[in-house]
Amino acid sequence: MKSFELFYFPSCPFCQLVLSELPNMKVEVILKNIMENTDFRNELMAGGGKTQVPCLKIIDNGNEQWLYESRDIVDYLGQQ
């Protein structure tokens, strides 16, 4: 079973694009605002290698994948 976590911050227009599409998706996505919680920012840097947002963390059977770019994230979630 896959789980999803979206690293974002509210004033980012690319994040807003992804956030506006989430209600249309059939998957649950945990939201992690890196401006409100430095632990989320540190997790993003440690796992993804950079603090660029939006970033979707995909957890599949214990394996992690980090997906950047708003359009790629929307396309990926739309296929789930």
For the chain, domain boundaries: 2-78
Interatomic CA distance for residues 80 and 69, integer angstroms: 17
**pTM, to two decimals:** 0.95
Q: How many residues does the chain have?
A: 80
What are the pLDDT digits (tens) for 23-67?
A: 999 999 999 999 999 999 999 999 999 999 999 999 999 899 999
CA dihedral 24, 29, 31, 34 (to 10 degrees): -110
Q: Which amino acid is at 34?
A: I
**From the CB of residue 30, how many other CB atoms can be counted at a distance below 10 Å?**
11
Domain 2-78 in CATH 3.40.30.10? The answer is yes
